[in-house]
Amino acid sequence: MRIRKTKSKNSEHYAIIYDTKDINGKRSTKIYQNIGNYNDLIKLAKDEDPLTWLKNYVNELNQQIQSNSLPILLKKYPNQRIKKNEQLEFNAGYLFLQDIYYKLGLNHICDNITNKYQFKYDLNDILSKLIYSRIIYPSSKLKTLELSKNFLESPNFEYQHILRSLEILSKESDFIQSELYHNSLKYSKRNSKVLFYDCTNYYFEIEEEDEFRKYGKSKEHRPNPIVEMGLFMDGDGIPLTFDTFPGNKSEQETLQPLEKKILEDFHNPEIVVCTDAGLSSNSNRLFNDTNIRKFVTTQSLKKLKQFLKDWSLDLTSGWKLPGSDKTYNISKLREDEELIKKFYHKVFYKERWIKENGLEQRLIITYSPKYQEYQKNIREHQINRALKIIENHPRKIGKYNENDPKRFISIVSTTKTGEAAEENHYFLDQEKINDEAKYDGLYAVCTNLEDDVEEIIKINTRRWEIEESFRIMKSEFKARPVHLSREDRIKAHFLTCFLALVIYRYLEKRLDEKYTVMDITETLKNYNLKKENDIGFSPIYKRTDLTDLLHEKFGFNTDYEIIETKNIKKICKQTKK
């Protein structure tokens, strides 16, 4: 604050003014208080010297500014219309993502790529906005440009720059992933000794396949060309690296090329790779059967050789609890409600070493009363769905997958005498239901680790996190359908989805994993500020326990009644350190 004195022919006019600078750096001077002429000043000063009083008054105002205790008065006029085309609402939720983006050094990675190719557009601005928008405003690239204008810091690029940058990002994808991993080690500790791998696919709303988008077995059972994505996640749930493959490639063939990239680019030779049964081919197990590389993989009980299946389904002997040598008869426990209640959260196991196809591995069978109840409830739900299909749409029973409720339906097309029946008869096959019930609560794992069973079970139970990562990308981040046709741009699209997932997972951990992905993304999306002239911004989001935790973890607050523009600029600068 300072004094402005304006002289005229017959009088002097006094006002208290201050300088402002908007979020884009535009400077202006505003009047805080009109004092009036000298006579008005005398009345305010009362018995004091007018000019001395005025100087002391301004000093007092400046002290209040320093202590953030000076009330900010906003003048609003009911007969004055707002300015045309002036944006008044801005999203500030991206600032929490920006803090992680810069701490992971993605800005420096962009600088290195820019220096390599010597292009003029701002790659860092483009990549960061693509990532923030994928989490907060997931949409097409063109729509992303428009929606990112809602951020406090508006984009400094055009749509054609996004398309050009996608080509560069595709070329530098391996470099970006490798550098990001090494940068992340400075940001937080990573459990990169245990790695989880899974593969999924994404559909394209096209009818004709090309060299990259191929017809294959869609995870979503859609009749569209697809692209496959393989993803490695570390033992803490943070994505490590990914790659994309043509849609007709067997997912079992995707693991080794990507794992070799980890061994070469990440300098991480000692790893334990955990996969589901669909990726656990004998070739993949042999690849990780070395002195320093190990595997843990789920094993389909139904696909075991008969003698191993019989051994696995024998519930009468050999079952133990981790850390104890006492054996249990699971067949008695399985039918006794009191025992089920007593051991509900326990996991029993038995194990043996097997040697097949040149590979020696450890087969561990586990039994959990809790898992038994879960499978039983799912099957009962599917049986009810099968009954409704029989009752309402029996003629629509066609091809189905192994988990479809239709698997419990059988069809009889002949009479008891063997003659052809005029109509098909549909009924629940109780034999199939009983056969499936035998596997309730049972789970199989194969490994070449010699660790305690409890540790191996613990590793395998974390596999759900990589499945959740794919669900987040498909649902909350809306990674598909993909509205791009060139292979390099498609690969760059999945790179931005991968980077968004990395940043989201770190955000989740900063928040102590207390909130769901929907809670977090909705809060960031609605974390908006309203521009109050050139004075500053006022929050128009709901203050909650989650917003309080965000402020606590990231070291800045925007939940005051008004935040001056200079303080908003400080926050923006703070998130880029």
Tell me the β-bridge partners of 227.
Answer: 202, 246
Task: Supply the pLDDT for residue 419.
Answer: 62
Using only C-alpha atoms, the chain has a radius of gyration, in whole angstroms, of 32
At 127-147, the pLDDT tens digits run: 999 999 999 999 999 999 999
Q: Phi/psi of residue 557, each to 5°?
A: -125, 140
Task: Supply the pLDDT for residue 266.
Answer: 83
Residue 423 CA to its chain's centroid (Å): 51
418 pLDDT band, cuts 50/70/90, is: low
Task: Supply the pLDDT for residue 415.
Answer: 60
User: What distance in Å separates the CA atoms of residue 197 and residue 499, rounded to the nearest whole number?
Assistant: 17
Rounded mean pLDDT of 295-318? Answer: 94
User: What distance in Å separates the CA atoms of residue 312 and residue 352, rounded to the nearest whole number?
Assistant: 10
The mean predicted confidence, pLDDT, of the chain is: 91
Global pTM reads 0.84
Let me know: does 242 contact 259? Beta carbons within 8 Å: no
User: What distance in Å separates the CA atoms of residue 175 and residue 264, rounded to the nearest whole number?
Assistant: 12
**What SS3 class is residue 280?**
coil
User: What distance in Å separates the CA atoms of residue 33 and residue 47, rounded to the nearest whole number?
Assistant: 21
Let me know: does 315 contact 330? Beta carbons within 8 Å: yes
Where is 112: in which H helix or E strand?
helix 106-117
Q: Which two tokens stand for residue 141?
A: 């690239």
Pairing, β 359-367 against β 348-356:
antiparallel
Task: Supply the pLDDT for residue 61.
Answer: 86
pLDDT of 412 over the 90 cut: no
User: What distance in Å separates the CA atoms of residue 541 and residue 556, rounded to the nearest whole number?
Assistant: 16
Let me know: does 255 contact 275? Beta carbons within 8 Å: yes
| 149 domain-assigned | no
Query: What is the SS3 string spanning 196-257?
Result: EEEEEEEECCCCCCCCCCECCCCCCCCCCCEEEEEEEEECCCCEEEEEEEECCCCHHHCHHH
pLDDT of 399 over the 80 cut: no
Count of other CB atoms within 10 angstroms of residue 210: 13
422 pLDDT band, cuts 50/70/90, is: low
Q: Which of 25-39, 183-197, 448-462, 539-553 has the lowest mean pLDDT?
A: 25-39
User: What distance in Å separates the CA atoms of residue 278 and residue 265, rounded to the nearest whole number?
Assistant: 26
Let me know: does 539 contact 529? Beta carbons within 8 Å: yes
Q: Which value, to the nearest 10 degrees, does the dihedral of the CA atoms of residues 306, 312, 317, 320 take?
A: 160
Percent of the chain with pLDDT over 70: 97
Of 137, 139, 112, whose CA–CA distance to 123 is shortest?
112
Rounded mean pLDDT of 18-22? Answer: 77
Rounded mean pLDDT of 76-84? Answer: 86
Where is 2: in which H helix or E strand?
strand 2-7
Task: Supply the pLDDT for residue 356.
Answer: 87
Q: Which two tokens stand for residue 566?
A: 């200079």
Which of 416, 437, 458 is a domain's end point?
437
> How many domains does one find in the chain?
2
Rounded mean pLDDT of 546-550? Answer: 98
Where is 293: in which H helix or E strand?
strand 293-298
93 pLDDT band, cuts 50/70/90, is: very high
pLDDT of 27 over the 90 cut: no
397 pLDDT band, cuts 50/70/90, is: confident
Which residue blocks in 515-564 are alpha helix, DSSP H? 517-525, 545-554
pLDDT of 380 over the 80 cut: yes
Rounded mean pLDDT of 212-238? Answer: 92
User: What distance in Å separates the CA atoms of residue 78 and residue 493, rounded to the nearest whole number?
Assistant: 48
Task: Supply the pLDDT for residue 392.
Answer: 84
Q: Phi/psi of residue 373, each to 5°?
A: -65, -40
Rounded mean pLDDT of 326-352? Answer: 91
pLDDT of 420 over the 60 cut: no
Task: Supply the pLDDT for residue 40.
Answer: 87
Name 235's Cβ contacts closer than 8 Å, sequence gap at least 6: 191, 192, 193, 194, 195, 196, 459, 462
| 405 domain-assigned | yes
421 pLDDT band, cuts 50/70/90, is: low
Which of 437, 463, 482 is a domain's end point?
437
| 35 domain-assigned | yes
417 pLDDT band, cuts 50/70/90, is: low
| 46 domain-assigned | yes
Tell me the β-bridge partners of 21.
Answer: 27
| 247 domain-assigned | no
Answer whether the bond into residue 539 is a cis peptide, omega within 30°.
Answer: no
Task: Supply the pLDDT for residue 175.
Answer: 96
Tell me the β-bridge partners of 355.
Answer: 360
User: What distance in Å separates the CA atoms of residue 404 and residue 441, rounded to the nearest whole number?
Assistant: 19
User: What distance in Å separates the CA atoms of residue 46 and residue 42, rounded to the nearest whole number?
Assistant: 6
Task: Supply the pLDDT for residue 245.
Answer: 96
- Identity of the amino acid at 96: F
Task: Supply the pLDDT for residue 426.
Answer: 84
DSSP code for 278: G
| 19 domain-assigned | yes
Let me know: does 172 contact 113? Beta carbons within 8 Å: yes
Q: Is the dihedral of CA 398, 404, 407, 409 positive or negative?
A: negative
Q: Which of 84-98, 391-405, 435-449, 542-556 has the lowest mean pLDDT?
A: 391-405
Which of 45, 66, 87 is a domain's end point?
66
Buried-state track 438-448, b at ≥16 Cβ within 10 A, e below 16? ebbbbbbbbbb
pLDDT of 25 over the 80 cut: no
| 20 domain-assigned | yes
Task: Supply the pLDDT for residue 416.
Answer: 58
230 pLDDT band, cuts 50/70/90, is: very high
Q: Which domain holds residue 14?
A: 2-66
Q: Phi/psi of residue 443, each to 5°?
A: -150, 140
Task: Supply the pLDDT for residue 239.
Answer: 96
Rounded mean pLDDT of 153-168? Answer: 96
Rounded mean pLDDT of 346-371? Answer: 94
| 397 domain-assigned | yes
Of 247, 144, 227, whose CA–CA distance to 490 is shortest?
227
